[in-house]
C-alpha cells in the first residue's frame, strides 16, 4: 500500500512517461496481463491509455489490472492509468525506484 507522499513522488516521475499499452475494444485478457506484468517487472512504473472504444472506463481497467498483476494504482487521470509494482526479480537485487518513507 502506497502512502500519499509516495503516490505524489510516483506521479511526478510518471509525468514524463509515455503510455506503453493501450486498452482497446477487446477485453483485458491473459496475454495483456502477462505483458503488463513483464513491463512492471522491467520498469516498476508504467503508464497506460484507455481508448474511447474500450468497454472499460479507466478506473475499471485500473482495478482489474491491479488485481491481476499485483500492482498499485498510482493515478487515474482522464483516460491515462499509472501503475507501480516493486520489482520482484531476484536476479536484480536493487530497486529501480527508491520510494520516500
**Position 95 in a domain:** no
**Position 92 in a domain:** no
Alpha carbon 79 to chain centroid, angstroms? 13
Please tell me the predicted confidence (pLDDT) of residue 19: 97
Domain span at residue 68 reads: 4-84
For residue 34, give the CATH number of its domain.
3.30.110.60
**Position 91 in a domain:** no
- Burial of 47: CB neighbours in 10 Å, binned 0-12, 13-18, 19+: buried
Mean pLDDT across the chain: 92
Count up the domains in the chain and report the number.
1
Percent of the chain with pLDDT over 70: 92
**Position 96 in a domain:** no
Amino acid at each position: 500500500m502506497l502512502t500519499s507522499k509516495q503516490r505524489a513522488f510516483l506521479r511526478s516521475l510518471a509525468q514524463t512517461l509515455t503510455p506503453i499499452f493501450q486498452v482497446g475494444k477487446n477485453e483485458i485478457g491473459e496475454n495483456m496481463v502477462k505483458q503488463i506484468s513483464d513491463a512492471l517487472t522491467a520498469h516498476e512504473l508504467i503508464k497506460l491509455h484507455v481508448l474511447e472504444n474500450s468497454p472499460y472506463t479507466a478506473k475499471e481497467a485500473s482495478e482489474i489490472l491491479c488485481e491481476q498483476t499485483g500492482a498499485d494504482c498510482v493515478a487515474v487521470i482522464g483516460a491515462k492509468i499509472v501503475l507501480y509494482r516493486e520489482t520482484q526479480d531476484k536476479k536484480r537485487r536493487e530497486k529501480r525506484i527508491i520510494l520516500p518513507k
